[in-house]
Structure 1
Amino acid sequence: MPRIHFLAMAILLLAFAVPAVADDRPNFIIFIADDVSWNDFGCYGSETARTPNIDALAAGGMKFTNAYLTASSCSPSRCSIITGRYPHNNGAASELHRPLPEHLVKFPKLLKEAGYYTALAGKDHMPQDNADEDAVWDDKRGTKVPGNSGGEGHWVDVVQKRPKDKPFFFWFAATDAHRGWDADQQWQKDNYGPKHNPDEVKVSPYMRNEPATRDDLTSYHNEITRFDYYIGQVCEELKAQGAFDNTLMIVMADNGRPFPRGKTRVHDSGMKTPFVVSWPNGIKDAGEACDKLVSVIDICPTFLSLAGVNVPEQAQGVSFAKLLEEPGSRSQRNYAFSEHNWHDYEAHGRAVRTGPGMLYVRNARPEKAWLGPADSVSSPSHKDIVKAKDDLTAAQADVLLAPRPAEELYDTSKDPLQTNNLVGNQKYAKHLAEMRQVMDQWQKETGDSVPEDYTIDFYDRVTGYIDSKTGKRIKGDRPYGDYPGQQHDADKINASGPK
């Protein structure tokens, strides 16, 4: 055999004999809770929740204290994260349960095309017209396993069975802590510890400190603890595989808690999200807290840029990768914008926040209360507020307030509950003028609009699910109307507005 042929054959045999090794690009995991407010983890000051695994990630990583959702509503929020776009720039997906247009790309697809192994396990809730999910996910699992319908049951198995020669992106989405409270019936004391005690639950200022409300909150915190347990299990598996240090993990939520003044609201109680980031190979100072503004649409460009993948023009966010290395460095974001569109009830609310702590709210449907979703309106916690409607604090009364102001302005550093509306206060006239201008610019440049043929209420506003006149649940097709931005074809607009 000629020598050159022998060498070629030897090289070929060596290639097959040596196992492939994953490249050194970071792995990514998003742990996303369902309906959990920013301050309901121990590391964010909760006096009730037991979240030792999340707290450990914060202690060894970085905790962001000014991270905001673009929508406090399940599917609009998730669709916004996965495309890196504002809800009204996602077409019909700006409203609950409605699909993304076919032409928009879910960013894990770009990671997959670049050699990443991608998997979704748990809650999806990101529908798309003519979706080709196989182009996005190598593996896709549901929410239930025997003894656990909380959405976490497949997580460890996905990590164990991943190909070890590829970097990975995992979207691990719980259904905890969405109402239904199935964790109470599926509780595993050996894994989760004792259930929370209603007598020890800390009640939010937006709610009444009544037995039914404390019981309601207890079940909610049980689900948070179950979510935390499975995060810990994934971390242990990654450490066993030697993959933990090079895995960038984010622990967050899709919207605020499903209680009064939480889910769907544009105020911090609905729109602010916990945002714990772990990445030992990339975070310089473990245990740091970063107070710079971050929007969840920033996840897309951050992950893609760190993976060496071109960020598509559709992405409206900015990378926060620099903050992981230097949390005190200058932020690329000066404003964070949020929306409240139809979610069970008609709505069109907009909000913008600044780093110094100003919040401006614009409400195009001020005649009706911002009650929250139907499952909150039908909850014991909401009923406790209704029963005491003549004896409520300002924070509690805001839940039922109708009509609402068309504009609101808050100095959140001095008014964390956001109950003192500063519109009309001359000391804040310059702030109000600036925020109005910024909001006008953002709505114009991104193609936002207030539909005239809007989506109307689907549920009763008194009982939540039951029609107060007939005693029956409202039935029929979902009453979808035009969605915000439709008249401007906002789903084709990539401009981000002010950042």
Structure 2
Amino acid sequence: MISDKPCRVLCVMIFCLLLTTTGLRAEDRPNIIYVMADDMGYGDLGCYGQKIIKTPNIDQLAQQGMRFTNHYAGHTVCRPSRLVLLTGQHSGHTPISQNEQYYFPENTTTVTSLLKEQGYATGGVGKWALGIPESTGVPSKQGFDFWFGYLDQGNAHNFYPEFLWSNEQEVSLPGNKVGPHKRVSISRETYSHDLLTREAFNFIRANADKPFFLQAHYTIPHANNEGGRATGDGMEVPEYGDYKDREWPQPEKGFAAMVTRLDRDLGRMVELLQELKLENKTIIFFTSDNGPHQEGMHQVEFFNSNGPLKGYKRDLYEGGIRVPLIVKWPRKIKPGTTSDHISAFWDFLPTACELAGIKPPENIDGISYLPELLGQSQRAHETMFWKYRGKVALRAGKWKAVQTGPGKPLELYNLDTDIGETHNLAKEHPEIVARMQQQIAASQSAD
């Protein structure tokens, strides 16, 4: 048998090197909570300019931590965005670049499996989308000690499902009944988001005495498209709360109530960490999986959900991929700071590895943004890349190239002066277009 002592010594040496570069000590290894909304836009939060929907708790996270203004989702739709987040590879290098069916092969290296190997308790709630029951892709085969929520992506579009999954055990919700299309609720008793929150809090309580990683991939404010067509309201929520008397269409009341409900639960999560004396030992990330949707009869323009950005979900303009990112870590991140560092979902894996003292895999596209969080010198990406159904986009510093379909000309925007991508500068800068075309080709794995 080969001794693993040299490996352990090497790991310690690497960890010490990481601590030297970031200023972290071994005892500072934090709990990590990564909260992700579903289809929330760059402009849906008060701290990003929202004027109508109330998000006081998320806004307070920004006041107590760091708010990123140049952060990008892994993709413009759900499944590939989650794939990018977990693997640290952008969509030019992942097996899928659209919402096609995909199951993780067993024992894939992900941020979760790496943290588990380092001794973290690993838990997740919400939408999984990367492996159905009895497949190799279920969370329990991908580094999760505990999972509660949806496994199949399509089922996650119904907020009153007949069942959810606890690891690989089906949990019946007998008060909920759906119609023949399986996405239209005809009897409603248990709102799935509330169960997800309960299980997330239970996981925190159960692991309060050890380092833990919690992935809370919530399903709101995604639309229930089938329910919208059937009932006229595709934004399922138990009550409209502060918005019930507004003279708005029902879907807009529902959308606002969903966002505020999620905000309420983020506040409750922070209170739980305070109660357990874990607040200073825990780093919280909050983001969205892609840009805002225009589904379930919700209109992006109603609340200006994409803020100053062009486009929305399924676009590779900024509105489809630029998302909020707020990070709070008391006593480590300077409160009330704003960062314009250009980062993306594929950067989370190396960031989490650096937080935990792990050497990240070699074959990733991400760069840890922990130095930025700690106010230190931060390495930047040369380029960032996305692709979706024949569309491609590449950012290189201030320049953004977008191709809206096969055979379409490459558009060019200066995001420093034109965040709304209103002035196509391709004709004025053919040399930049040519260079970015080469970088787009180089960003994609050979078929």
TM-score when scaled to structure 1?
A: 0.66
Of the three residues 416, 420, 437, the one matched with 1:413 is: 416
Deviations 1:366-408 (A, max 9, x none): 5xxxxxxxxxxxxxxxxxxxxxxxxxxxxxxxxxxxxxx3311
Bigger-Rg structure (1/2)? 1
Preserved CA contact (<8 Å) 1:294 1:320: yes
1:332 counterpart residue number: 380
Query: Aligned with 2:35: secondary structure?
Result: strand
Offset at 1:168? 0.5
Higher relative contact order (CA 8 A, sep 6+): 2
Preserved CA contact (<8 Å) 2:284 2:329: yes
1:436 counterpart residue number: 437
- Which runs of no fewer than 5 residues in structure 2 stay unpaired? 1-25, 151-163, 165-172, 174-188, 225-232, 295-299, 301-310
Structure 1 pair 306–107 and aligned structure 2 pair: CA distance change class (3 A) = same
2:52 counterpart residue number: 48
Identity of aligned residues (%): 28
**Using the alignment, how far apart are the partners of 2:416 and 2:28 within structure 1?**
41
Offset at 1:80? 0.8
1:275 counterpart residue number: 325
Offset at 1:432? 2.2
Alignment RMSD? 2.6
Deviations 1:63-89 (A, max 9, x none): 000001231110110011011112342
Of the three residues 57, 61, 64, the one matched with 2:65 is: 61
Structure 1 pair 365–197 and aligned structure 2 pair: CA distance change class (3 A) = farther
Preserved CA contact (<8 Å) 1:155 1:172: no
Alignment of 1:300-339 (within 5 A): 300-326=349-375, 329-339=377-387
Offset at 1:195? 4.3
**Using the alignment, how far apart are the partners of 2:365 and 2:405 within structure 1?**
24
Of the three residues 228, 236, 239, the one matched with 1:187 is: 239
Structure 1 pair 217–422 and aligned structure 2 pair: CA distance change class (3 A) = farther
Offset at 1:188? 7.0
Deviations 1:100-129 (A, max 9, x none): 344632221111121111101122112286
Offset at 1:292? 0.9
**Using the alignment, how far apart are the partners of 1:84 and 1:127 within structure 2?**
18
Deviations 1:429-468 (A, max 9, x none): 343233223223323xxx15xxxxxxxxxxxxxxxxxxxx
Structure 1 pair 75–64 and aligned structure 2 pair: CA distance change class (3 A) = same
Offset at 1:239? 0.8
Offset at 1:254? 0.6
Offset at 1:93? 6.5
Determine which structure has the larger strand proportion and give its number: 2
1:254 counterpart residue number: 289
Offset at 1:252? 0.4
1:290 counterpart residue number: 339
**Using the alignment, how far apart are the partners of 2:317 and 2:365 within structure 1?**
22
**Using the alignment, how far apart are the partners of 2:89 and 2:275 within structure 1?**
36
- Which runs of no fewer than 5 residues in structure 1 stay unpaired? 1-21, 200-211, 341-346, 367-404, 449-486, 488-499
Preserved CA contact (<8 Å) 1:26 1:167: yes
Q: How many residues align?
A: 359
Of the three residues 149, 159, 167, the one matched with 1:142 is: 149
Query: Aligned with 2:358: secondary structure?
Result: coil
Preserved CA contact (<8 Å) 2:66 2:373: yes
2:314 counterpart residue number: 264
Query: Aligned with 1:89: secondary structure?
Result: coil
2:161 counterpart residue number: none
**Using the alignment, how far apart are the partners of 2:138 and 2:260 within structure 1?**
34
Specify the code of the residue in structure 2 equivalent to 1:267.
Y
TM-score when scaled to structure 2?
A: 0.74
Offset at 1:184? 5.3
Preserved CA contact (<8 Å) 2:240 2:257: no
